[in-house]
Amino acid sequence: MIRIGGMTPVTSIDFPDRLAAVLFLQGCPWRCGYCHNPALLPARGGEAIAWTQVEAFLRRRRGLLDGVVFSGGEPTLQPALPQAAARVRALGFEAALHTGGMYPARLAALLPLLDWVGLDVKAPASRYDAITGVRGSAARVGTSLRQVLDSGIAYECRTTWHPGLYPEDELQRLADGLAAQGVRHWALQECRSASLPATGWALRDPAALGARFERFVVRRA
């Protein structure tokens, strides 16, 4: 059913306030230059973890883990994701999703089966296509963001940024725009890539950026 390219048995950082396992789902339609999981981008990878293995693992971890995070790649690429999320819940775990938001219709169908969503908002709309390598990507993410906010589900919006991608002024306008749309939880993550300078990541005024949100975190790589 679902194609799983990797798994982290336990993490405390990928699902806020929860101990969780992370499943890395195979396949992503975008080609961000800074992607850290290139082996997961093809729809079918070399190694795969069978769903039966995942269920057997989860049965052994009852009482030890709180939840399961579907990450990637892009998990919503796979039509079997809703069934997998439902199975995770049926086994007594919470279900979380990391997504780039490129399939809003699939995300809308999935939201009732989730307990938390981490949604990437990579850039201002004018920069999106250059980062993802796909035309029209910003509009899809905008629809997904609206759906997540309207659903009432617990969430975090995340922006992976480096001044080599676009300037801080644009980042600040992105933060303004997110806050105006009702985003209350935002994480700014340092982008590390061989194509970007290893030094020079700095914010002129992180307090001003964070003041727009109820919860704001900066994650250095």
Q: What does the binding site for ligand SF4 look like in residue numbers (CB under 6 A)?
A: 28, 30-32, 35, 37, 41, 72-74, 100
Quote the least distance from Cβ 82 to ligand SF4, whole Å: 20
Q: Which residues contact 207 (CB under 8 A, 6 or more apart)?
A: none
CA gap 71, 132 in Å, rounded: 17
Quote the least distance from Cβ 4 to ligand SF4, whole Å: 15
Quote the least distance from Cβ 202 to ligand SF4, whole Å: 23
Nearer Cβ to ligand SF4 (6/66) = 6
Which tokens is 138 given?
A: 């910003």
Q: Which helix (H) or strand (E) holds 158?
A: strand 154-161
Nearer Cβ to ligand SF4 (26/147) = 26
Contact 23, 4 (CB under 8 A): yes
Which tokens is 71 given?
A: 């990450």
Nearer Cβ to ligand SF4 (37/151) = 37
Quote the least distance from Cβ 186 to ligand SF4, whole Å: 18
* Residue 120: strand pairing partners: 158
Measured in degrees and rounded to the nearest 5, phi and psi for residue 219 equal -115, 110
Rg (CA), the chain: 17
Quote the least distance from Cβ 178 to ligand SF4, whole Å: 18
Nearer Cβ to ligand SF4 (41/65) = 41
- The full length of the chain comes to 221
Cα distances (angstroms) measured from residue 85 to each of 15, 117, 179: 15, 12, 30
Nearer Cβ to ligand SF4 (67/73) = 73
